[in-house]
Chains A and B, each alone.
Chain A
Amino acid sequence: MSINILIDEILSIELFSNIIVSLKNVCLGFIIAFFLAMLIAILLNESKLLNYIFYPILELLRPIPNAGWVPIAIIMFNALQESILFITFIGAFFPMFINIYRALDNIPNNYLIIGKLYKLNTIDKIFKIKIPAIIPHIYTAMMVGVSGSWLSLIMAEMISGKSGLGYYTWKNYTLLNYEKLFIGVIFMGIIGALFSGVISFFSRKVKKIYSLR
């Protein structure tokens, strides 16, 4: 691969616009998945009834491979963009949900005792004790979640996309354009690593505060 081709391609509008599409999808899917995972995990943690009803359902859906959701997403959503967003969401949601759910279940009893002792209401208990108590685990969940959503997005774009980094890479594979294929793969790695790096950077100080390694 010549350096010139590499530089030209990196500076090209085509690669740049595909990266932007992928970034937009991964950020949106990840953010929706994060807030829903938090909300559902907290609700199941707070209510034995909701936990009894919904946890088995979520556990049944969780092991379905992300690729298994692709045809379902295509059937469920008319627009291609929405089905790709759904796959990205699924890739992030389940790993984040299970991490947050288990973290809430394992909050040290003394913190909960402090909440009970000062008779905190449910909202204060959630926002002043439970969520702060699991912040290091939230970072771990985010790390796993962002990887999951990135992998799912690339896969979905490769299978059925019309734009995005996955689509760009797969298109160049089918056109036997191996230089561009490699550039696509390299950028997949760089962007994935950047996501993890940013979350890891913020989690380091937090882990220190919580005396975790």
Chain B
Amino acid sequence: MLGKGLEIHNLNKKYKSNKTQKLIFNNLNIEFESNKIHCILGKSGCGKSTLLRIIAGIEKYDDGNIIFNDTKGEKLFISMVLQDNNLLPWLTVYNNIKFVLKSVNKNIKNYNQTIMDFLKKVDLTEYKDYYPYQLSVGMKQRISLLKALINNPNYVLLDEPFSALDYITREEMHDLFLKEYNNKKFTSIISTHSIDEAIKLSDYIHIIGKDGKYKKIKNTLKKPRDKDSDYITFFEYIKSEYM
């Protein structure tokens, strides 16, 4: 379903410590269209991760409205990929996936086949009994990304999921993410501070400045997004808005 999937109106959020308080969002208004990839671009401390956690319902906010328009009649399910520690270190790869399946659907019985299909898909069948510490960073993020999609969520939130990866692994993860997106179609919101990543992945780029300045830009570059002259012009435009 297209259209306004998620609307955020007049969002206010402050972090309070003993003596000071830091304003993160002051009457922020954002709309996220359904079944599109949205990248939130901003420097460290601008509130990207906070916004994702608020959308996921795991962080409180002071004031405002968050409206999910595209889940009428069905249960809203939001999944999230974090920058690191997405896998529970005390569980094997198999049990990490089982944990997700059973957390979402306690009555699920035939999870073994689902897990094995999943592992086959990520080409990690032989690693099913491995613990996360025995896997490379790339393997862990691959599992984390696909684990977030295993229960067909309405929203997939990614909090700087590729920032800790080397260039090659990051490119592979981008391709894997786009492939899954094209197969399943979901609304995805990705926080990043990489302009390149935002241009490559997104349909919309939301720039959040530290001063609360917000701008939404539609990414009209054709896919696949090679670094041609249009790309560079668009990059410079985003950069000027970002800076």
Within 8 A of B (CB), among A129-156: 129, 132-133, 135
Task: Chain B residues near A211: list those with CB within 8 A.
Answer: 89, 133
Contact with A along B64-99 (1 / 0, CB 8 A): 000000000000001110101110111100000001
Q: Using C-beta atoms within 8 Å of the partner chain, give the interface range for chain A.
A: 20 to 34
Closest A residue to B106 using CB positions: A124
Closest B residue to A135 using CB positions: B90
Q: B9 on the interface (CB 8 Å rule)?
A: no
6 A-B pairs besides A113-B53, A120-B103, A132-B91 with CB distance below 8 A are: A116-B57, A117-B56, A132-B90, A133-B88, A208-B133, A209-B90
CA distance A123 to B58 in the complex (A): 18
Within 8 A of B (CB), among A189-213: 208-211
Task: Chain A residues near B56: list those with CB within 8 A.
Answer: 116-117
Q: A118 on the interface (CB 8 Å rule)?
A: yes
Task: Chain A residues near B235: list those with CB within 8 A.
Answer: none
CA distance A210 to B91 in the complex (A): 10
Partner of A118, one of B89, B90, B103, B133: B103
CA distance A118 to B131 in the complex (A): 21
Q: A24 on the interface (CB 8 Å rule)?
A: no
Q: B104 on the interface (CB 8 Å rule)?
A: yes
Q: Which residues of A contact B (CB under 8 A)?
A: 108, 110-111, 113-114, 116-120, 124, 128-129, 132-133, 135, 208-211
Q: Is the CB of B104 within 8 A of A108?
A: no
Task: Chain A residues near B86: list those with CB within 8 A.
Answer: 110, 114
CA distance A118 to B84 in the complex (A): 17
Q: Indicate whether A111 sits within 8 Å of B85 (C-beta atoms), given known contacts A116-B58, A117-B58, A210-B90.
A: yes
Partner of A133, one of B58, B78, B90, B100: B90
CA distance A120 to B99 in the complex (A): 11
Closest A residue to B80 using CB positions: A117
Q: Is the CB of A132 within 8 A of B133?
A: no
Ordered by A's residue number, 24 sampled pairs between the chains whose C-beta atoms are within 8 Å are A108-B85, A110-B84, A110-B85, A113-B53, A114-B86, A116-B56, A117-B56, A117-B58, A117-B78, A117-B79, A117-B80, A119-B103, A120-B103, A129-B88, A132-B88, A132-B91, A133-B90, A135-B90, A208-B133, A209-B90, A209-B133, A210-B89, A210-B90, A211-B89
Q: Is the CB of A111 within 8 A of B58?
A: no
CA distance A210 to B58 in the complex (A): 25
Q: Using C-beta atoms within 8 Å of the partner chain, give the interface range for chain B.
A: 20 to 34
Partner of A113, one of B58, B89, B104: B58
Task: Chain A residues near B57: list those with CB within 8 A.
Answer: 116
* Inter-chain CB contacts under 8 Å: number: 45
Partner of B82, one of A113, A120, A210: A113
Task: Chain A residues near B89: list those with CB within 8 A.
Answer: 209-211
Task: Chain B residues near A111: list those with CB within 8 A.
Answer: 85, 88
Within 8 A of A (CB), among B157-202: none
CA distance A135 to B86 in the complex (A): 18
Task: Chain A residues near B91: list those with CB within 8 A.
Answer: 132
**Nearest CB of B to A205, in Å:** 10
CA distance A204 to B41 in the complex (A): 43
8 nearest CB pairs, A to B:
A118-B103, A110-B85, A116-B58, A132-B90, A211-B133, A209-B131, A110-B82, A210-B89
CA distance A211 to B89 in the complex (A): 8
**Nearest CB of A to B92, in Å:** 9
**Nearest CB of A to B88, in Å:** 7
**Nearest CB of A to B131, in Å:** 5
**Nearest CB of A to B130, in Å:** 11
Task: Chain B residues near A119: list those with CB within 8 A.
Answer: 103
CA distance A117 to B219 in the complex (A): 30
CA distance A108 to B89 in the complex (A): 11
Closest A residue to B89 using CB positions: A210
A113, A117, A119: residue with the most chain B Cβ atoms closer than 10 Å: A117
**Nearest CB of A to B103, in Å:** 4
CA distance A119 to B86 in the complex (A): 16
Closest A residue to B58 using CB positions: A116
